[in-house]
Amino acid sequence: MKTYSQKLFGAICGGLLIGIPVIPQVASAQQSIPKVNPCPSVFYEEPHNNRVLVPQGCPPNALTRRLEAQGLLPPMTPPVTQTPYSQGMGGEAPPSRTSGINPCPRIYYEEPFNSRNVVPQGCPPNALTQQMQARGINPEQIIPPRPPVSVIQPPLPRERQEPSARLALVNNQVNVRLVNDTGAEVTYEVIGDTAPRSLQGKSNVMLRGLNAPVTLTLYRKDGGLVQVIPQPTSTQGMLEVRLDETTNFGQDKGTVRIQEDGTVFLN
């Protein structure tokens, strides 16, 4: 028969043998946890390079540098935890009791406007608006308050944007000759008519039979600034849009709108 000392010695040795494999397993599990890169390369690749603000503490991408140059980004502050989209975000505005004009149109929640345009005040934030809020930027400092939709008044003549060009349409249609005079590749899209397409530098393309109103968006893939020059041609119903390089942020444009009356606006 085993003595009490022998039983005690056996229990201690057995406990040590059971616990030996546990230690390397814990260490191995700790070593297998991957390190998260706080500044992934996707923020510096298109289209995110020109559409998404980088996390604080990361080197700025094209959009971040552009907003910093325009004075729209405040001094760096501690990172802010972003909250998930709340109900009603992502494209559908809350139902409005006022019939008629939708104060929060869906286009603000579709690309490229979702990542490039601030929504009107009172609308659910889109991707760009939410990024600005997370960085401590007040969108109300960028866009003026929207008047109540129940009383819609046309702007005074001095407040209206002057059209950049005028042309006569043919059967409410327009042909657009897009000329890329820059040395960089440009991505363009006719909202509702075409998918995003690429236009190489020093080349051109003809877009035929576009029904007015027309919204043409474009941006340089290298993040550079683009000066847009619309010019009516001698051919009725044809507009030539030339793209040139610029270093002036005030001349940088990304949207060409052709109204049903043939007026052309740049934004």
- As its CATH architecture, domain 162-266 has Sandwich (2.60)
Structure tokens at 190: 């006719």
Q: Residues in the chain with pLDDT < 50?
A: 16-20, 22-24, 26-31, 33, 76-99, 144-153, 157-159
Long-range contacts of 118-125 (CB under 8 A, 24+ apart): 118/142, 118/143, 120/146, 121/145, 121/146, 122/146, 123/93, 124/86, 124/88, 124/89, 124/93, 124/94, 125/89
Q: Give 55's DSSP letter.
A: P
| Per-residue pLDDT at 163 | 92
| Per-residue pLDDT at 105 | 77
| Per-residue pLDDT at 181 | 95
| Per-residue pLDDT at 88 | 38
| Per-residue pLDDT at 117 | 79
**Maximum CA extent, the chain:** 115
Going from N- to C-terminal start, the domains of the chain cover 40-76+105-142, 162-266
Contact 220, 182 (CB under 8 A): yes
The residue type of 175 is: N
| Per-residue pLDDT at 265 | 94
Q: Tell me the pLDDT tens digit for each residue of 25-60.
A: 544 444 454 556 778 777 788 877 877 777 777 888
Phi, psi of 132 (to 5 degrees): -65, -40
CA-wise closest residue to 132 among 77, 202, 205: 77
Phi, psi of 118 (to 5 degrees): -80, 135
Contact 258, 264 (CB under 8 A): yes
| Per-residue pLDDT at 49 | 80
Angle at which helices 22-31 and 4-19 cross, to 10°: 20
Contact 210, 147 (CB under 8 A): no
| Per-residue pLDDT at 58 | 83
